[in-house]
Chains A and B, each alone.
Chain A
Amino acid sequence: MSKQVLANMKTNKRLRKRYRKEKLFKGSAIFALSLAAAFLVFFFYNIINQGYSALVQAQILVDVQYNEASHKSYRKAIDKSYRKIVSRGWLRTLPIYMEDHPEVMNTVRNEWVVATADVDQYLKGKSNRLKDKQKRQIDKLQEEGKVKLSFNSNFFTNGDSKMAELAGIKSALVGSIYVLIVTLLVALPIGVMTAIYLEEFAPDNRLTQVIEVNINNLAAIPSILFGLLGLAIFINFFGVPRSSALVGGLTLALMTLPVIIITTRAALRAVPHTIREAAYGLGASKWQTVWHHTLPLALPGILTGSIIGLAQAMGETAPLLIIGMMAYIPDTPTGFTEVATVLPAQIFTWAGESIRAYEERTAAAILVLLSLLLSMNSLAVWLRKRFETRW
């Protein structure tokens, strides 16, 4: 063989090796991305799979006796054989119901009532603590059509409860809203004002640089340390009531501040300089230019950033644990200084419960939280797409 061919074979061999390497590299890059995508799919599948069953709740058709005896002792309202399978928490509400609705007194009504969490789990084929005798009873009732799974409205209209079948997310949801209102009222004006100052007014001096470095640092501080701040400064020093929506909102506001500042600055920076020059040319002062022209043009960007910041604050748990917002709170808060809990904290508390029936409720609460967050983020994306001006 000639030298030429030999050399060619050698190059070919090397070339093939290089191409193999190329394929391997590209393959591993695709693999990495698909792995991440697989995580995402598995994660959502897993949560939905665990949570959707909490949307229905077992109910039993029983004769409920409304009379003096059952008013005095609520257990007497239903037949003895049902006492183990009908929710005691529901029975407890009977006397108050009778007082509010005197017309039902001295009647016997055939009603669908809430079953215990164990019956619920049994019907859904999950582990439960029912005895064999009760299981047979449920099976028999099922044949007669006296047991059904129907929409779990308790989950959305009740607060937390020590009885899993009655536990709901209402108080946590309302608490979350209160906290977010405080966060928005504090963080939005301060954040936007800071951004306006840094972007439009600040001279390039020491103080400005310090503030800028500070904001970057603030964005990097772990959220739990904001909880320490809230505990030491807001609760111990300023005397804000512990576990209240107020202290939670203030703490989260400080956390959201850097997000709002950074996005607002970016939005202000995106407004072209020619617009400012045109306003100055017509004799507007600096503030008039900002207020009448720059700020309105940057508003979509500011809104997008604030919504994203709020969504982050809504999912935050760690600092709120530190300031005591994880207590057992069955009642819906009606003010900013009342004891409150938030949705993520409720998820955390339920995740720690040993009773299995809470597990699906935790997953269902997660689904509610995730869909809220996703819709907030989609709203932000939509706002940006809808009002974005390309200069």
Chain B
Amino acid sequence: MVNSILILSLMSVISGFFILQHVKKKSLNSRWHSLPAYYAWFAVLWMVVPALCLFFFSSVLHLLHLYDVGASFLIPSTILLTLWGTWRGLKQINPELKARESVEKVIRVSLVLAASISILTTIGIVLAIIFEAMQFFHIVSVWEFITGTHWAPDDATDGNTQGMFGSIPVFAGTFMITIIAMCVAVPIGILSAVYMSEYASEKVRNTAKPALEILAGVPTVVYGFFAAITVSPLVVKFADAVGLHADYTNALTPGIVMGIMIIPFISSLSDDVIRAVPRSLRDASLALGTTMSETIVRIVLPAALPGIIAACLLGISRALGETMIVVMAAGLRPNLTWNPLEGMTTVTVRIVDALTGDQAFDSPETLSAFGLGLVLLIITLMLNVLSIYVIRRFRSQYE
């Protein structure tokens, strides 16, 4: 397969070159519609495309298990198609042929195909998750999944799944850690943005902003290591000092570290929207004798609010879907509690745990990962739509 593709492309390059020379020589003394290279491309496309179509269809048939086209058929038919295509292409080459238009049409079609791959990816994610999640919800009822308070997929056997797949504790852990993260990230992020855009000199701003963005570029597995090895013992020690007991897998640790990770997202986006607030609004307010802080709190921040809210929503969706920090620093045990010093688990932890074990692919535990993934997908997409809506709905107010 790989070899034949290589041979095919080599052949097309060589023959494209010959066709180019041929057409160049011919078009010297007569008037041709397009530049010589376009005739070469035209011929090459005729040579390659029919064979590629055959490849594509046979692999689709193969993947759908409809019909297996054997190599003994594929190879001679590819050669025949290539020869036929070359002959057709060459025969059409003459001064009247609008080669450029045909070639550009093909280019346009391939651009459209490339653009639709992004749609295919989204559809692929949605279908893959929904399809497997449906299988899961055949075994476990949706109602039980949403309202159950006991998550114990390890105890579930094929026949007995009653009361083992209640997702409330898993989601409670996720939201708890997300809330802690936002408590760290939102105030620090917004205040940093205010300082950078309103008070700081250009020099300070030009060093502070990229420095903060380094925090955003650090891989999450590194944050996970940092949380598990450094922050978690600190939290436990601190809790001991004030007379509280903390688990090593407490929810506070991943929450704090995740908050640090999200600071640059919020500060960077907020900085941009705060700077986009027109100068005249500030000047008008300051001219009335307000202090800087009054101007910022009463005038600038309200004007920038939609953008800031959108930034926070983005931060929340990051926190909900964050995986490595919680896998390494949060617990595995689903735990329904308000105490952030206890171990808790999250949706992403359970997904990783369910899919890295050695269960069969159609076991209830493996499928439960797709159920959780579906909910995560829906929440993230809703947050995204909401943030777009907030920006669109309130943006024009001050412009």
Which of B63, B115, B323, B380 is close to A318, meaning CB atoms less than 8 Å apart?
Answer: B323
B220 within 8 A of A: yes
In the bound assembly, the distance between CA atoms of A190 and B381 in angstroms comes to 24
A32 within 8 A of B: yes
In the bound assembly, the distance between CA atoms of A108 and B314 in angstroms comes to 66
A322 within 8 A of B: yes
In the bound assembly, the distance between CA atoms of A322 and B226 in angstroms comes to 22
The chain A residue with its CB closest to the CB of B131 is A232
B267 within 8 A of A: yes
A266 within 8 A of B: no
Interface residues on B, range: 35 or more
Scan residues 201-253 of chain A and give those whose CB is less than 8 A from a CB of chain B: 201-202, 210-211, 214-218, 220-229, 231-233, 236-238
A218 and B118 contact, Cβ closer than 8 Å, known pairs A18-B294, A26-B199, A318-B348? yes
A347 in contact with B225 (CB, 8 Å): yes
Residues of A within 8 A of B215 (CB): 36, 39-40, 43
The chain B residue with its CB closest to the CB of A228 is B373
A261 and B320 contact, Cβ closer than 8 Å, known pairs A19-B291, A32-B188? no
Which of B112, B194, B297 is close to A197, meaning CB atoms less than 8 Å apart?
Answer: B112
B110 within 8 A of A: yes
B376 CB → nearest A CB, Å: 6
B121 in contact with A229 (CB, 8 Å): yes
B111 in contact with A193 (CB, 8 Å): yes
Chain B positions within 8 Å of A, measured between CB atoms, are: 63, 100, 104, 107-108, 110-112, 114-119, 121-122, 124-125, 128-129, 131-132, 187-189, 191-192, 194-196, 198-200, 208, 211-212, 214-215, 217-222, 224-226, 228-230, 260, 263, 267, 291-294, 296-297, 314, 317-318, 320-324, 327-328, 348, 351-352, 355-356, 361, 369-370, 373, 376-377, 380-381, 383-384, 388
Interface residues on A, range: 35 or more
A86 CB → nearest B CB, Å: 29
In the bound assembly, the distance between CA atoms of A30 and B196 in angstroms comes to 9
In the bound assembly, the distance between CA atoms of A197 and B291 in angstroms comes to 50
Of B324, B376, B383, which is in contact with the most chain A CB atoms at under 10 Å from its CB? B324
Residues of B within 8 A of A321 (CB): 323, 327, 352, 355-356
Interface segment, A94-102, A271-279, A358-366, A383-391? A358-366
B291 in contact with A21 (CB, 8 Å): yes
A110 CB → nearest B CB, Å: 39
Residues of A within 8 A of B224 (CB): 348, 351
Kindly list 7 other residue pairs between chains A and B, CB separation below 8 angstroms, not including A194-B118, A321-B356: A19-B291, A43-B215, A223-B321, A224-B323, A228-B369, A257-B118, A370-B222
A33 and B217 contact, Cβ closer than 8 Å, known pairs A43-B226, A225-B321, A226-B125? no
Residues of A within 8 A of B219 (CB): 314-317, 344, 369-370, 373
Residues of A within 8 A of B383 (CB): 220
Interface of A is mostly: helix
B385 CB → nearest A CB, Å: 8
A228 in contact with B351 (CB, 8 Å): yes
B191 in contact with A190 (CB, 8 Å): no
- 29 cross-chain CB contacts under 8 A: A29-B195, A32-B189, A33-B195, A35-B188, A36-B212, A36-B260, A39-B260, A46-B230, A211-B116, A214-B119, A221-B321, A221-B381, A222-B323, A225-B376, A225-B380, A228-B129, A228-B370, A257-B118, A258-B118, A287-B107, A315-B220, A317-B323, A318-B324, A318-B327, A347-B222, A348-B327, A352-B328, A369-B219, A370-B218
A317 and B324 contact, Cβ closer than 8 Å, known pairs A218-B122, A347-B225? yes
User: What number of A-B contacts does a CB cutoff of 8 Å give?
Assistant: 249
Which of A35, A224, A233 is close to B348, meaning CB atoms less than 8 Å apart?
Answer: A224
Residues of B within 8 A of A47 (CB): 222, 225-226
B293 in contact with A26 (CB, 8 Å): yes
Which of A194, A217, A223, A254 is close to B115, meaning CB atoms less than 8 Å apart?
Answer: A194
Which of A22, A201, A324 is close to B108, meaning CB atoms less than 8 Å apart?
Answer: A201
In the bound assembly, the distance between CA atoms of A228 and B211 in angstroms comes to 33
B119 in contact with A22 (CB, 8 Å): no
Residues of B within 8 A of A362 (CB): 225
A355 CB → nearest B CB, Å: 14
Residues of B within 8 A of A26 (CB): 195, 199, 292-293
A296 within 8 A of B: no
Which of B111, B199, B377 is close to A225, meaning CB atoms less than 8 Å apart?
Answer: B377
The chain A residue with its CB closest to the CB of B348 is A224
A50 within 8 A of B: yes
Of B115, B117, B211, which is in contact with the most chain A CB atoms at under 10 Å from its CB? B115
B58 CB → nearest A CB, Å: 14
A285 in contact with B115 (CB, 8 Å): no
In the bound assembly, the distance between CA atoms of A321 and B214 in angstroms comes to 24
A25 in contact with B208 (CB, 8 Å): no
A225 in contact with B129 (CB, 8 Å): yes
Which of B195, B225, B228, B322 is close to A32, meaning CB atoms less than 8 Å apart?
Answer: B195
In the bound assembly, the distance between CA atoms of A211 and B328 in angstroms comes to 36
Residues of B within 8 A of A197 (CB): 111-112, 114-115
Residues of B within 8 A of A25 (CB): 292-293, 296-297
In the bound assembly, the distance between CA atoms of A233 and B317 in angstroms comes to 24
